[in-house]
Structure 1
Amino acid sequence: MLAVLPFLGQYASGEGEGKLVSFIPVEQEVERGLEAFLKRSIQEAENEGADHIVLEIDTPGGAVNAADNIATIIKSTEVPITAYVADRALSAGAYIALNADQIIMEPGALMGSAAIIDQSGNTAGKKAESFWHAAMKSAAELNDRDPKYALAMADPDVDLPNYNAPKGELLTLNGEEAVKVGYAEGMAEDRTELLNLLNLKDAEVSDAEVSIAERIARFVTNPIIIPILLSIGSLGLVLELYSPGFGVPGFMGAGALLLFFFGHMIAGFAGWESLLLLIVGVVLIVVEIFIPGFGVFGVLGAVGVVASIVLASGQSMQYILLAVLIAVAVTVGGSYLFIKIFGYKGFFKKIILSDATKSDQGYVSNTTRDELVGLEGVAVTPLRPSGIADFGDERLDVVTEGGFLSAGTEVKIIKTNGSRVVVRAC
C-alpha cells in the first residue's frame, strides 16, 4: 500500500535512529484557537530538537484568516513538515496541507472542496474569492504542484471531468488520485507505514496534546460560539438588573464574558489591555447609573466595552461588530419579554421612586364635598368665570362652566372636585 516519490528519501538517515518526530493533530474546524495551538506546538517541537513534524489532518475546513495564518507558521519553520491526511482535509484543511513540505494520505482520505463561503453559507464575494483562488494557486506552486487542481478545488468554474469535477463542481481528490496528479507524495494506512515511508521507522515519536485551556480556547474562539457567548453575557447581566439579588442570570452573564476573554487570552488574541478596557467600560456605565452625566459616561462605557471585545476577539472588524449587534438584539428582545412576562423587580427599583399618592390609598390634598351638590345660592361677585357665591350660612369660591354671570345671579352647585365647586345659573 506504499506509494512514494524520491523526494521522501531526503529525510532518510539510518532508518530514523536517533531522530525525533513530532505528531501534531489538526482536527475539527480551522479557527483562531487551532492557530494558537499549532503555533505553540510547532515552537515546542523546534525547541525539543524535532527532526520532522507531522500534521495529522482531519478537518472539514473553517476560517480563511486562521488558515492563512497557519500557513505562514508552517512556512516559517525550518523543520521539515509532512501533512498526513488521516481522513479529510477539506476547504481550509486542503490549503493547510498544500503549504506543508509534502503530503501523505490514507487511501480513503479526501482532500479538496475548498470554495470560500461566508458565515451564512453563501459565496463570500468576488474580492474574497479572488484572494482565496490566488492563495490556493500559490500554495500548490510552493512545492511545484500543478495549480489547476488547487484552483479546481476552490473554483467550480474550472472543468476537470476526469476527476468527477466537471464545471459547476468542486474537485475533491482521494489518496490514489492525489498521488496520480502529484498532490500527494504517497499513501500510508497508519503511523507505522507513514514512518516507514519517511525512512523514520526507528525514530522517537512525541505527540502534541491539546491542553484543557486550549480546548476551551478552541471552543470559545469558534466564530459560531462568539455571538452566542456575547448574547448570553449581555442578556444575563441586563436581566440581573431586573431581578433582585445576584442570581442565575448574573452568574451566567459574568461567566459567559469571562469565558470569552479567558479563551481569547489563552489563544493569544486578548491581552490585559482589553480586559482593563472592559473593566473601565463597566465602571463608566455604573457611574452613569448612579451619577447622571447626560449620557456621557454611559456612551463612553458602552464604547469601552465594545472596543474591549473587538480587541480581544482576534476576528475581522466586520464579523465581531456583527456579533455585537446580534448580542444587542438578543438582549433587547430578551429583556422586553422578561419584563412583559415577569414584571420589573430588579436593581433599579431600589433607586427609582415609583410610588404614587392615590386617593384610594388615603392620599388627598382637598376633600371633595359631595354634599354641596344641589345647593342653591346667589353670586356675591361677578363670576368671570370664578368668583364668590353665598349659600345661606356659607360663602364659597366657585367657578362657572365657562360663561360670565353677574353679581346677584341665582346659581346652583352642579359638581364638586376637591376644592373646585362648579355652579350654573338657575
Structure 2
Amino acid sequence: MRKVMMILLTFCYTLLLAKGETKPLIYQIDIRKDIGATTWLYLKKGFAEANKSGAKVIVIRLNTYGGEVVYADSMRTRILNSKIPVIAFIDNNAASAGALIAIACDKIYMRTGASFGAATVVDQTGGQLPDKYQSYMRATIRSTAEAHGKDTIITGKDTIIRWKRDPHIAEAMVDNRIIIPNVVDSGRTLTFTTNEAIKNRYCEGKAESVDDIISKQMGIKDYDLKVYKPSGFGIAGISGIILIICGLTLSMIDNINLDFSRVPGGEIAIALFTVLISIAVAFGLSIYLSNKIGQKGIFRRVALEAEQEIAQGFVGVPTEPQQIVGKIGIAATVLRPSGKVMVESNFYDAVSEHGFIEQGTAIKVTRYEAGQVYVIKSEE
C-alpha cells in the first residue's frame, strides 16, 4: 500500500512540475501593408486566436505607411481593450495610421533606422483634408496617448507626475502648427527616428528582431513564438473548386434522393467531362474576348470609347478657388482657429494660421489646400 501511495504521489508531483514548466506563448501578428478592411479583419482574427490559445503577450510587427483612418481607429480600439499585453515592434515604418496603432500598444520597440509619426489625415492625392478631419484625428491620437496613464517619479523629496506618453507630442504628429521646444518646430509635422522616440518616451528601446524584444528586453529566455497566418487559398480554395465541379457533375445525373446505385458509370464520366470542358472553354473564351471587346465588330458597342478632346470644346476647369489666394477679406465669425471668412462677397470655411482671429477683423488668404482656406490677420 505504501509503495502504491509513493508511486501516486510521485506521479502527481511530476504532473504538477510539468504543468509549472509550460513555456509562455508569444503571439506575433505581422502588419506589412496599408491599413484597410483586410488588415482590420486580419488583426481581429489574430487577437481572437491569441485569446483562444492563451497567449501571454501579443507582438504586432509593423511596417506600414498608413491607410484608412476608419479601420486604423477600429484596430486602435481593439488594442486598447485587449486583456493581453500588446507590444508594437516597428520593423521599419509606422507612418500615419500606423503611428496611431503603435501608440495604442502598451510598449513600443523600434529597429535601428526605423521611423514613426506623420499622422496628418490626407486624401488620395496626398493633400491635407479640411480641419474638421484633422481636429478629430488630433483628439483621437491624443486620447490614445492619454489611455496609458501617468508615471509617478520620486527623486529625493520631489514627486513628479508625468504622462507615460505625452499627448501633446502625439498631437504634433497630426498638427504642424504645434511647437514643442527641443522636439518640433512650427510648420513641421512630427516624425521620430528610433533615438528620438526613445528620448521622448515614445519607444522603450531598440530591437532588431522579435526575439530581441522577448529575450533581451523582457528577459524571457524560454518561450514559444507563434506567428499568426490566416488561411489563404490553399486547402479551402482547392476544396471549394472540387466541390463546385462535383456539384455541377451530380446535377447532370438522374438520381432519386441522391441514390446513384442505378446510374451507369459511363454517365458519371460523361457528366464530369462535360463540366470540365465547359469550364475550360469558358475560361479560354473570356481571355480571348477581353482583348477584343471595344476594338471592332459588334463588341465596339459594348465598351464606351468616347474621348473629350479640347478640339471639340472640352476643357478642364479647376474647381478650387485658387484665385482668392492673396486677396483681402474679413472674418465672418470668430476663427478659433477655424471659422468662416468673407472674400469678395463669398463665404468660405477657413483656418487661422497663427492664433485666434476675432469677428470683423481684416484677413488675408495665404493658401488653399484640399478644400480649406488658410488665412492670417491682414496688416494692409
Q: Give the structure-2-normalised TM-score.
A: 0.53
| Structure 2 counterpart of 1:248, one-letter code | S
| Other structure's SS at 1:120 match | coil
Q: C-alpha distance in 2, partners of 1:76/1:86?
A: 24
Aligned to 2:229: 209
RMSD, matched Cα: 2.9
Q: Which runs of 5+ in 1 are unaligned?
A: 1-15, 215-244, 254-333, 349-426
Q: CA deviation at 1:191?
A: 2.3
Paired-residue identity, %: 31
| Structure 1 counterpart of 2:108, one-letter code | I
More helix by share: 1
1:27–1:59 Cα contact (<8 Å) kept: yes
Specify which of 100, 125, 130 is matched with residue 130 of structure 2.
125
Q: C-alpha distance in 2, partners of 1:17/1:170?
A: 46
Q: Please show how residues 77-116 of structure 1 align to structure 2 within 5 Å.
A: 77-116=82-121
Specify which of 142, 150, 159 is matched with residue 137 of structure 1.
142
Q: C-alpha distance in 1, partners of 2:202/2:226?
A: 27
Listed one character per residue, the Cα deviations across residues 269-317 of structure 1 (whole Å, up to 9, x for unaligned) are: xxxxxxxxxxxxxxxxxxxxxxxxxxxxxxxxxxxxxxxxxxxxxxxxx
Q: C-alpha distance in 2, partners of 1:109/1:181?
A: 15
Q: CA deviation at 1:199?
A: 2.2
1:192–1:201 Cα contact (<8 Å) kept: no
Specify which of 187, 196, 201 is matched with residue 168 of structure 1.
187
Q: CA deviation at 1:125?
A: 1.4
1:17–1:202 Cα contact (<8 Å) kept: no
Q: C-alpha distance in 1, partners of 2:229/2:220?
A: 21
Q: Give the structure-1-normalised TM-score.
A: 0.47
| Other structure's SS at 1:79 match | coil
More strand by share: 2
Specify which of 179, 186, 193 is matched with residue 159 of structure 1.
179
| Structure 2 counterpart of 1:344, one-letter code | I
1:104–1:186 Cα contact (<8 Å) kept: yes
Q: CA deviation at 1:347?
A: 9.9
Cα distance, 1:252–1:210 mapped onto 2, change above 3 Å: farther
Q: Please show how residues 228-377 of structure 1 align to structure 2 within 5 Å.
A: 247-248=285-286, 338=294, 342-344=296-298
Q: Please show how residues 16-95 of structure 1 align to structure 2 within 5 Å.
A: 18-95=23-100
Q: Which runs of 5+ in 2 are unaligned?
A: 1-20, 149-163, 235-282, 303-380
Listed one character per residue, the Cα deviations across residues 312-366 of structure 1 (whole Å, up to 9, x for unaligned) are: xxxxxxxxxxxxxxxxxxxxxx98xx3xx52435899xxxxxxxxxxxxxxxxxx
| Structure 1 counterpart of 2:28, one-letter code | F
Q: C-alpha distance in 2, partners of 1:123/1:20?
A: 42
Q: C-alpha distance in 1, partners of 2:147/2:195?
A: 21
Cα distance, 1:64–1:192 mapped onto 2, change above 3 Å: same
Aligned to 2:317: none
- Alignment size in residue pairs: 219
Q: CA deviation at 1:94?
A: 0.5
Q: CA deviation at 1:97?
A: 0.5
Q: C-alpha distance in 2, partners of 1:122/1:116?
A: 9
Listed one character per residue, the Cα deviations across residues 39-85 of structure 1 (whole Å, up to 9, x for unaligned) are: 01110011011011000111111110110011122122211101111
Report runs of 4+ in structure 1 exceeding 6 Å deviation: 249-253
Aligned to 2:213: 194
Listed one character per residue, the Cα deviations across residues 112-164 of structure 1 (whole Å, up to 9, x for unaligned) are: 0111001222212121111111111111111131111111111111124634x
Q: Please show how residues 363-402 of structure 1 align to structure 2 within 5 Å.
A: none
1:105–1:175 Cα contact (<8 Å) kept: yes
Cα distance, 1:161–1:78 mapped onto 2, change above 3 Å: same
Aligned to 1:275: none
Q: CA deviation at 1:183?
A: 0.9
2:89–2:210 Cα contact (<8 Å) kept: no
Q: CA deviation at 1:212?
A: 2.6
Q: CA deviation at 1:252?
A: 6.2
